[in-house]
């Protein structure tokens, strides 16, 4: 993974929009609802980070980040996923660690996220990176869509 880099995009091309939407659906199935109406303002006013591997046009991973308006040194990880053909190969942990380093350099002191308790792979990844479950939010995204709220202090 030495030939990888994080690329922050501020505007998305049509092909990037379609690619990220496809990755979102692959990662979250019917619950993956991110589309142009969310991606465009996220890229322009939040942060869309792509984990790129040398010589590949298609990212290995994608993460969307938002700054907390009430706590400017806090970042909310809106979406985080690794391409299906790269799962289980260490890309998830590498991408997450590099993101956390970058966020710390950018002045963030706390990172938070929500994740399905059933997504044991993601929960384990976040715990391995130092995130702690603070609470379980019942019906966070509607009935039957409970989420762990996890936080990491940098």
pLDDT per residue as tens digits for the range 108-127: 999 999 999 999 999 999 99
List the domains of the chain with CATH numbers. Answer: 4-153 (3.40.630.30)
More confident residue, 35 or 17: 17
Contact 134, 151 (CB under 8 A): yes
DSSP per residue, 101-116: HHHHHTT--EEEEEE-
Positive/negative CA dihedral, 117, 122, 126, 129: positive
At residue 16, the pLDDT reads 85
Please tell me which residue, 39 or 49, carries the higher pLDDT value.
49
- Give the pLDDT band of residue 24 (cuts 50, 70, 90): confident
Which is more confidently placed, 134 or 24?
Answer: 134
Query: What confidence score (pLDDT) does residue 37 get?
Result: 77
Position 100 pLDDT exceeds 80:
yes
Query: pTM for this structure?
Result: 0.87
Question: Mean pLDDT, the chain, as a whole number?
Answer: 90
Confidence at 13, pLDDT banded by 50, 70, 90: confident
More confident residue, 35 or 108: 108
In the chain, % of residues over pLDDT 70: 97
Query: SS3 breakdown of the chain: % helix, strand, coil, rounded to 5?
Result: 35, 30, 30
């Amino acid at each position: 993974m030495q030939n990888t880099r994080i690329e922050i995009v501020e505007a998305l091309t049509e092909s990037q929009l379609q690619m990220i939407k496809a990755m979102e659906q692959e990662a979250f199935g019917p619950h993956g609802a991110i589309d142009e109406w969310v991606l465009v303002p996220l890229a322009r006013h939040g942060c869309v980070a792509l984990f790129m591997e040398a010589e590949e046009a298609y990212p290995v991973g994608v993460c969307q980040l938002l700054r907390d308006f009430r706590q400017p040194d806090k970042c909310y990880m809106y979406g985080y996923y690794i391409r299906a053909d790269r799962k289980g190969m260490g890309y998830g942990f590498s991408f997450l660690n590099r993101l956390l380093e970058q966020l710390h350099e950018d002045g963030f002191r706390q990172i938070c996220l929500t994740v399905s308790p059933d997504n044991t792979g993601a929960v384990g990844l976040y715990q391995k990176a130092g995130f702690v479950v603070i609470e379980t939010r019942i019906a966070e995204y509607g009935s039957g869509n409970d989420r762990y709220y996890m936080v990491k202090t940098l």
